[in-house]
Chains A and B, each alone.
Chain A
């Protein structure tokens, strides 16, 4: 079976499991929405300030909770399933790619929900014409977060503190994504070009993809 077919099948099963477990949209997303509602409440009725910080809060919460989506329970296999996949001849790089694919879709959906809620609750100044640029930045950050989360989830696989430990590993390394995402929105609001920030996201996504594929076999060995 080809690399692409394996990737698609593994992503399909990850998504099917998430549909049944529902962690991303039944637990993580509501939690993130509560967090989103807490900032304006903490600020009181300073309406202009709320609308100013909207995009920044979106990206900070998007990164923090988006990585929880990337580290969700259905993104980890027990030892038996790892053995099964290994003995079915699944390429470790395809395991990485499949997981990143499923994670990117879920994280993108999560960020879209969070973004819509932010627009409704904070009323930021973002022109409608910028929708494609906003969508592009959301997708690219989702891919990067998913790559980082998959790598960190594998590194912390099988450990008792997997989710907390992987979050600690992901958070500092996700700073380029946070900066690029939030600066894209700043640039949109200021009517400036977004190209440098898109290039930064692209570089980060590609660097993590290369790292994930290069480390796939050593990681597979490290979790035996």
Chain B
């Protein structure tokens, strides 16, 4: 657990710095202090997509190399990813309610894709929960992870073919639309959240490895059945 503990500590420190920067940076002229929510919203959604990509990557690597750690990576990333996806969607809805006047904008492909991804994660984790055999579980969830990564971009394209109302991305290469301090705060938070993601994934992978080796030790086929004590049949 050493590596994970150190990482979690560093991530907590980084989050604290990010939070302080987010709360002290000057507020957006139009949206006021409320705009500070993007310091959580944007990093969460970035991690939602990153985690989904890492799950797909772990899945494909497992199918190729068949090493248990790729399966653990895919699983850990999905579990952490579903958390950040939920946070990203929730903060987005709060922000949308305030700024657009509606919590959910059906014409926004990013929103729809994130929601679909959230349910794909839930299906992925439900599938894992339903299978006991570690190898069967790894194989089937890897296949789902690989198929989902083909299908999710199609969700994006399909909704993108509707009209989009979403405001343009906030970070632009040529001059930002954000005050400098706010941009710095958000970038620090992006880094801090990413660190937190890495720390949680590493910790989850270590727990999974410990669980698997414990399960392996106690699993011995045929060992549970002892010869019946025939002389005692009458006593039962």
Contacts and interface: CB of A to CB of B under 8 A. Distances in A.
B122 interface: yes
Contacts of A179: 158-159, 161-162
Contact of B158 (A175, A208, A218, A223): A175
B139 A218 contact: yes
B155 interface: yes
B210 interface: no
Nearest to B118: A172
A102 interface: no
B155 A175 contact: yes
Nearest to A196: B161
Where chain A touches its partner, the secondary structure class is: helix
B148 interface: yes
Interface in A168-204: 168-169, 171-173, 175-176, 179-180, 183, 196-197, 200, 203-204
B126 interface: yes
A172 B140 contact: no
Interface residues of B, number: 32
Contacts of A80: none
A64 interface: no
B158 to A, nearest CB: 4
Given A175-B116, A219-B143, A168 B154 contact: no
Interface in B120-163: 120, 122-124, 126-127, 130-131, 136, 139-140, 142-144, 146-148, 150-152, 154-155, 157-159, 161-162
A47 interface: no
Interface string B175-198: 000000000000000000000000
Nearest to B144: A155
A172 B117 CA distance: 8
Interface in A19-60: none
A170 B117 CA distance: 12
A108 B230 CA distance: 62
Nearest to A162: B130
B87 interface: no
Contacts, number: 89
Contacts of B161: 179, 183, 196-197, 200
B25 interface: no
B158 A200 contact: yes
Given A176-B158, A196-B161, A222-B143, A161 B130 contact: yes
Contact of B127 (A156, A160, A196, A215): A156
Given A222-B136, A222-B143, A168 B151 contact: no
A176 B155 contact: yes
Given A176-B154, A180-B158, A165 B140 contact: no
Given A165-B123, A179-B161, A222-B143, A159 B131 contact: yes
A184 to B, nearest CB: 12
A82 B136 CA distance: 16
Contacts of B83: none
A211 B158 contact: no
Interface of B: 63, 112, 116-117, 119-120, 122-124, 126-127, 130-131, 136, 139-140, 142-144, 146-148, 150-152, 154-155, 157-159, 161-162
Given A156-B127, A173-B116, A215-B143, 15 more contacts: A155-B140, A159-B130, A165-B130, A168-B126, A169-B127, A172-B120, A179-B161, A179-B162, A200-B157, A200-B161, A208-B151, A211-B150, A218-B143, A222-B136, A223-B136
22 contacts: A155-B144, A156-B130, A165-B126, A169-B127, A173-B120, A173-B148, A173-B152, A175-B158, A175-B159, A176-B157, A179-B162, A183-B161, A200-B157, A207-B150, A208-B147, A211-B146, A211-B150, A218-B63, A219-B143, A222-B139, A222-B140, A223-B140
Closest 10 CB pairs of A and B: A222-B139, A172-B119, A179-B158, A176-B158, A169-B123, A176-B154, A168-B123, A173-B151, A172-B116, A159-B130
